[in-house]
Structure formats: C-alpha cells, structure tokens
Amino acid sequence: MNGSDDTRMTATTPVTGSDPESGLEPATLPRHVAIIMDGNGRWANARGLPRIAGHRAGAETVDRITTECARLGLDALTLYSFSSENWKRPADEVDALMTLCHAHLVEQRERMIEHGIRFRRIGRREGLPASVLDAADACEEATAAGSGLTLCLALNYGARAEIVDAARRLAVEVRDHGLDPAEIDEDRISASLDTHGLPDPDLLIRTAGEMRLSNFLLWQISYAELVVTDVAWPDFGIDGLHGAFRQFAGRARRFGGV
C-alpha cells in the first residue's frame, strides 16, 4: 500500500459532533464496515495496464478509506484482501499480491500507531508466506494498545474455512474440556470465529458491481446492510464511502421485527 504522500494517512482526530466535512451524523454511522475490495484487475485492463498495477492503485485506496474510517470514529473496518479461493490465480499475480501486502504492512505500521489504529489479521495462517505472517504479527503487536479504529485485514480468508475451524475448536472443547454441547449457542460460535470480539458488521460494501458474497464473513453479515457500487476499488474514494454511509443511514433495519 505504497500510497503517494497525498493518499497516506495523515494525523486525524476522530469526529465527535456532526461532521463538517461530510455532513454525516455520527449516531447514524455503522460501527463496523466490511468491504469486498473488488475490481482492481478490470480497472487495470481498462487502462491497458497489467493487473498488478490495479492492485497497486487499490492499495492506495486502502490507505484513503482506512484514514477516513478512523477520522469518523468507526469501531472497525474489515477489508477482504485475499480470499482462500484467490490461490487459483496465476502464480505471478499471487506473488505480486503477497509482496504488495508485505510492503504495506511494513510501511504502514508506524502510521497505524500514530492514528491509534489497532491492526488485526483474520484468515488461515497456513499457506501464507512467512514474511507476510511476520509483518502482520509485528503490526498486531505494535498496535495492540491502539484505542481507535480496529483495522482487520482478511488474508487467506474464507468464511466456510473459518466456520470449519470454529467447529473443530468447539469439538475439542467438548471432547477434552467437558463443554456440554447444549452450551454451544450463537455467542459461543461467534466467539470461536476469527473475528471474535468484534461487533458484527452493520454495513457490507462491495465495489465493482458483482452481486455476490464470495465467501466473505458469512456468519457475521447475517443482518448487515448491503451496498454494491459499480465503481472499481482503485477509484473508490471518500465521496463513495460517504455515499454508502448515507444509504446506510437511510435504511430501516428491522431485524425480523416490524
């Protein structure tokens, strides 16, 4: 996430009253936003560039959107960076994505600390390069005391794999630690997922127009509001984010009631 200087995180103070820049009322904002950052490849193709150029441009969007979510005082932002299905891509694209991810984690660590951002990684460790895991672990450790936005990066993440892992953990609890199967309820399943401790996302944004979930946070988004924009991730800006928040603010959330 190699952003140029103007897109890098700059010192911010979370908004407390009505936000003068966006006109958004803090009370109407989602606490946790999850984003399927799609369309980097199409963005690059449309410009006659290699797909990796789209991923590089997308990394700058990550900085922009993270900074704004921190500024607006959100609790959490979860970004789908690499799915457990993305290993099917050509090896050179996968390698380039891992290199980009490593560089971003190394470069942004100090900035995350400055902004009070608490970093966290979700997804299976197995399969990820040691360099990426080390950089992610170092970011988690260095930002653990952050009291602002939790930035959660889904890397080698698949919701079904996450649920399988949770089921295995609970089975071990039953077998070895006397957990009564009757005590397995929704809270305990939530607490066994990679996202334990985070509120469920209130809002799921997908860029680049596809109307699907692509194995993202299937348990956690049961009642999330969905916003799909045609804009490709590298072109997604603060205005687009505010637009999604406005749509969210206008939704009537019934949770099955009337």
Active site residues: 38, 86
* 36 is an interface residue for Mg ion by CB under 5 A: no
Rounded to the nearest 10 degrees, how much is the dihedral formed by the CA atoms of 242, 247, 249, 253? -150
* 52 is an interface residue for Mg ion by CB under 5 A: no
* 99 is an interface residue for ligand IPE by CB under 6 A: no
Which residue, 38 or 68, is less far from Mg ion as judged by CB?
38
Rounded to a whole number of angstroms, the minimum distance from the CB of residue 5 to Mg ion is 28
Rounded to a whole number of angstroms, the minimum distance from the CB of residue 238 to ligand IPE is 20
Distance CA 247, CA 157 (A): 27
| DSSP H stretches of helix in the chain | 40-46, 51-71, 91-114, 130-142, 159-177, 186-192, 238-249
Residues 26-85 that bind ligand IPE (CB under 6 A): 36-42, 80-83
* 247 is an interface residue for ligand IPE by CB under 6 A: no
153: tokens are: 């990066």
* 38 is an interface residue for Mg ion by CB under 5 A: yes
Angle, alpha carbons 224-18-35 (nearest 5°): 30
Nearby residues of 90 by Cβ (< 8 Å), 6 or more positions away: none
Residues in the site for Mg ion, rule: CB under 5 A?
38
Residues in the site for ligand IPE, rule: CB under 6 A?
36-42, 80-83, 86, 97, 208, 210, 212, 214
